[in-house]
């Protein structure tokens, strides 16, 4: 490793001010700091620092996403062969899934990081680590049938409009990965909804609808029709929990997502407050609907089932917890999370046009997170003022 270090030290002056490639300084630094934690020491303030940095933080999040990714790869192959009515070996299933999914991941990273590097270069900034996570999140919330060029355009939109126009990592107001998905959803609706997109190269005769799509049909169904939809498509909660259902690549398996949640919470990176309150919020709204029971959707889907359908769990664990776009105060996080869960189920049930409401709920609450924080901060200020009055 010494040789590599020497090589870097030798090349470094070329990339610094006055060097031949001074314009590429950000890129050089990005690679250098990727290979080596820099030798900078503290000059003011605390002499020792916690070993954690943004690279570590982001890599832990990526690690937490791995179970969902692996399951997504398997499920892609599984759903494909299921729709064709063929049986396949485990390895064939995995290889098929890998062939479908790897290109999406590569496109997401290449496009996203390319733009990040370009912006860093233009501004003379360092390249931030934020996209390491976004670049993994974007493929996981795409339908497996998404054309690669659409993934590329969505990613580019997310990085430029979702993040860089605000000033880069740490400054954005919406979760960039969700911006990508929202762009995709509204720009190419035919590729993001309907029954065709969720299973790769499925047989035409096979219904590829997601449980959410089936559930949405419950709204207009009554009596026996409703019961039959439910028993046929929605009664197998175990499959939904394990993840053998059609859906976006990474969102189907609640188990895999929960493994990720455990990693995030145990390492202290993800906020358990947000995760827990999202689930509580979703359950509360579901329970209210159960009580109201105005249509078959409200009546037949138990509150807990909302939590394992569609992107609810994935959104709660990986999307809502993005520290930059979430509420920042401890109390704010609980309110923010609760409203996400609450609104997600509300939109899902009340508006058949948006069966996947988690995305919209999170983006909406991202928008309101600063407002929630504002009131929490005002609360702190009021307590301080009150103290003066009590004393006076």
Partner 1 sequence: MSEVKKIKKGLDIKLIGKADKVLEKADRSETFAIKPTDFPGLTPKLKVKVDAEVKAGSALFFDKYRPEINFTSPVSGKVVAVNRGERRKILEVIIQADNELQYEEFKQANPADLSRDEVKEQLLQSGLWAFLRQRPYDVIANPADAPKAIHISAFDSAPLAADFDYLVEGEAEAFQMGLDALTKLTDGKVHLNINAQKTQSKVFTEAKNVVINKFAGVHPAGNVGVQIHKLDPINKGDIVWVIRPQEILFIGRLFQKGIYDVSRKIALTGSEVKNPSYYNTILGASVRNILKAQLKDDDKIRVISGNVLTGTQIPEDGFLGFYDSQITVIPEGDNYEFLGWALPGLQKFSMSKTFFSWLTPNKEYRLDANLHGEHRAFVMTGEYDKVLPMDVLPQQLIKSIMVEDIDQMEQLGIYEVAPEDLALCEFVCTSKINVQDLVRQGIDLMIKEMS
Residue ranges that bind partner 1, judged by CB under 8 A = 1, 4-5, 33, 35-57, 59-60, 126, 128-130, 167-171, 266-269, 271, 323-324, 326, 328-330, 333, 373, 376-377, 380-381, 383-385, 387-388, 391
Q: Which residues contact 77 (CB under 8 A, 6 or more apart)?
A: 88, 92, 93, 94, 95, 96, 97, 100
- Long-range pairs for 358-362: beta carbons < 8 A, 24 or more residues apart: 358/310, 358/311, 358/312, 358/314, 358/315, 358/316, 358/319, 359/141, 359/178, 359/181, 359/182, 359/185, 359/311, 359/315, 359/319, 360/182, 361/315, 362/175, 362/178, 362/315, 362/319, 362/320
| H runs (alpha helix) in 124-175 | 130-140, 148-162
Q: What is the CA radius of gyration of the chain?
A: 23
Using alpha carbons, list the distances in angstroms from residue 165 to 155, 159, 161, 195, 248. Answer: 14, 9, 6, 35, 28
| Token code pair at residue 122 | 């233009």
Please name the residue that has the structure tokens 């290109």. Answer: 103
Q: Which is nearer to partner 1, 97 or 332 (CB)?
A: 332
Q: Which is nearer to partner 1, 225 or 385 (CB)?
A: 385
Q: Which is nearer to partner 1, 33 or 290 (CB)?
A: 33
| Token code pair at residue 170 | 């740490």
Task: Tell me the Ramachandran region of residue 172: left when phi exceeds 0, alpha when psi lies from -120 to 50, beta otherwise.
Answer: beta
| Token code pair at residue 315 | 């959104």
Neighbours of 319 (CB within 10 A): 27
Q: Which is nearer to partner 1, 102 or 381 (CB)?
A: 381
- Alpha-carbon distance of 242 to 78, in angstroms, equals 13
Question: At its nearest, how many Å lie between partner 1 and the CB of residue 157?
Answer: 22
- Alpha-carbon distance of 357 to 347, in angstroms, equals 6
Question: At its nearest, how many Å lie between partner 1 and the CB of residue 129?
Answer: 8
DSSP readout, 206-240? S----HHHHHHHTTT--HHHHHHHIIIIIS-HHHH
- Alpha-carbon distance of 226 to 218, in angstroms, equals 6
Q: Which is nearer to partner 1, 81 or 272 (CB)?
A: 272
Largest CA distance in the chain: 80
């Amino acid at each position: 490793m010494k040789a590599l270090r020497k090589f870097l030290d030798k090349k470094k002056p070329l990339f610094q001010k006055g060097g031949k490639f001074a314009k590429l300084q950000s890129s050089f630094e990005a690679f250098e700091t990727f290979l080596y934690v820099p030798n900078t020491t503290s000059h003011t303030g605390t002499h020792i620092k916690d070993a954690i940095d943004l690279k570590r933080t982001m890599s832990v999040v990526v690690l937490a996403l791995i179970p969902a990714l692996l399951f997504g790869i398997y499920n892609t192959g599984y759903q494909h062969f299921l729709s064709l009515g063929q049986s396949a070996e485990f390895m064939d299933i995995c290889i098929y899934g890998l062939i479908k999914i790897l290109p999406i991941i590569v496109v997401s990273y290449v496009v996203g990081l390319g733009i990040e590097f370009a912006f860093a270069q233009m501004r003379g900034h360092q390249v931030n680590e934020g996209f390491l996570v976004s670049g993994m999140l974007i493929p996981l919330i795409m339908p497996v049938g998404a054309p690669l060029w659409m993934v590329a355009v969505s990613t580019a939109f997310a990085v430029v409009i979702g993040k860089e126009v605000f000033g880069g990592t740490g400054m954005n107001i919406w979760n960039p990965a969700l911006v990508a998905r929202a762009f995709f959803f509204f720009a190419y609706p035919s590729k993001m909804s309907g029954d065709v997109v969720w299973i790769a190269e499925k047989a035409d005769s096979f219904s590829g609808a997601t449980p959410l799509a089936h559930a949405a049909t419950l709204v207009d169904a009554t009596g026996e029709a409703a019961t039959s939809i439910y028993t046929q498509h929605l009664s197998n909660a175990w499959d939904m929990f394990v993840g053998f259902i059609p859906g976006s690549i990474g969102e189907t398996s609640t188990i895999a997502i929960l493994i990720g949640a455990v990693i995030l919470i145990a390492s202290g990176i993800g906020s358990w407050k947000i995760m827990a309150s999202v689930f509580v919020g979703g359950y509360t709204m579901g329970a209210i609907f159960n009580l109201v029971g105005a249509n078959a959707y409200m009546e037949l889907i138990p509150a807990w089932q909302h939590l394992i359908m569609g992107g609810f769990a994935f959104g709660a664990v990986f999307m809502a917890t993005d520290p930059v776009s979430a509420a920042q105060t401890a109390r704010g996080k609980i309110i923010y999370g609760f409203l996400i869960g609450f609104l997600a189920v509300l939109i899902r049930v009340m508006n058949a046009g948006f069966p996947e409401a988690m995305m919209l709920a999170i983006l909406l609450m991202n928008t309101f997170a600063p407002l929630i924080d504002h009131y929490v901060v005002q609360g702190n200020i009021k307590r301080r003022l009150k103290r003066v009055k009590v004393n006076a």
